Copies of this chain bind each other. A is one copy, B any other.
Amino acid sequence: MKRRIGILTSGGDCPGLNAAIRGVARAAYEMFDAEIIGISDGYRGLIEGDWQEMKRSQFSGILTLGGTILGTKRTPFRNMRVIGEDNVDKVAAMKKNYADMKLDCLVTLGGNGTHKTANLLSEEGLNVIGLPKTIDNDIYGTDFTFGFHTAVDIATDVIDRIHTTAASHGRVMVIEIMGNKAGWLTLYSGIAGGADVVLLPEIPYDIKEVAKCVENRIKNKKSFTIIAVAEGAMDRKEAKMKRKEREQARQEAGFNGIANRICKELTAVMPEIEARAVVPGHLQRGGSPSAYDRVLSTQFGVHAAQLIAQQEYGVTVALVGNTITHNKLSEIAGVPKLVPVDHQMVQVARDMGISFGDK
């Protein structure tokens, strides 16, 4: 059996991309007569015909490497989600290049946006397999995406380091964790880092409730408080607004990130405290994948190769429980996976006395 496989990585970079690429490649070479085409910078390369034949040795030594050897782009596909006129051309270009490369199938590694496009291409008749990558863990149908646990490790390490400053100075430290829509990363790293308050996009907060928690700690002779807040957290008032409305209101108020705002709001209510914001930002998505993510990425990659061997396309690989499996692209594309407000881990956190700022 011979298969010609195109691979691309799309969206924000994320630990484990190279490990997953290596997984696909090594298993493909091992299992059948594989030729692998590396497509540059995600869908940009597929549209513009920017690709190269890969050699087997290029997949060696990349297991531990952060980022992606294929390059990635975020921007050009903002509008791919709705097929407008411009995108019709892009889709045509991608189909043409797929044909020019003589691909048997296309493997796309990416997040929700990537999966939408992957599904679109699948509907257009291409043989597509997705691999769920994102530090946000917000892809429907898989318990975990690769990259997530590495980001949890990094964010937890940040909280650990901040902890000692907080304790030494008796301060409130507000740490802004990545996650615009989904709070998974904040929830996990908040619990792992021993945060006292965890604020998620899914659970609107009331600054008075947050202040109450700080006060209670002071009463119990805890001079400091650690607040882990997701980038996309919002207060109750904002939660009732539409997105555009909220963004406008924030712009007018000189919004400079949620962590900074919470510092301001808190010191407005409690002028006696010192509050500081920490915004680790891109730090959370870089560097070598953790052992967990290397194993998961490898399993995902190998499963993709197994699917290719069976000519099973139009699916994305997934972890369900402890089993690597796959879902139909059509069933998961465009469905974000948010933290359910009654999720077991939310309850665990509440039972420990962690506040979500909501009551």
A positions within 8 Å CB-CB of B: 9, 12-13, 17, 23, 26-27, 29-31, 41, 63-68, 71-75, 143, 149, 152-158, 160-165, 167-170, 173, 188-189, 191-194, 223, 256, 274, 276-283, 285-287, 290-292, 294-295, 298-299, 302-303, 305-306, 320-324, 344-345, 348, 351-353
Contact = CB atoms under 8 A, between A and B. Distances in A.
Contacts of A191: 294-295, 298
A160 B31 contact: no
B149 A154 contact: no
A67 B224 CA distance: 13
A213 to B, nearest CB: 13
Contacts of A71: 168-170, 223
Contacts of A17: 168
Contacts of A156: 291, 294
A158 B286 CA distance: 9
A303 B303 CA distance: 34
Most chain B CB within a 10 A radius of its CB, from A72, A152, A285, A295 = A295
Contacts of A281: 276-279
B348 A162 contact: no
Number of copies of chain A assembled together: 4
Which label, helix, strand, loop or mixed, suits the secondary structure of the A interface?
A: helix
Given A161-B66, A168-B13, A352-B27, A278 B287 contact: no
A299 to B, nearest CB: 5
9 contacts: A31-B351, A153-B292, A164-B287, A192-B295, A276-B282, A277-B281, A278-B280, A292-B292, A321-B321
Contacts of A155: 291
Nearest to A260: B256
A74 B64 CA distance: 27
Contact of A291 (B65, B153, B299, B348): B153
Contacts of A303: 348
A84 to B, nearest CB: 24
B164 A194 contact: no
Contact of A27 (B31, B152, B278, B351): B351
Contact of A169 (B29, B72, B154, B345): B72
A289 to B, nearest CB: 9
Contacts of A72: 168-169
Contacts of A23: 352
Nearest to A309: B351
Contacts of A352: 23, 26-27, 30, 298, 302
A344 B324 contact: yes
Given A152-B292, A158-B283, A344 B323 contact: yes
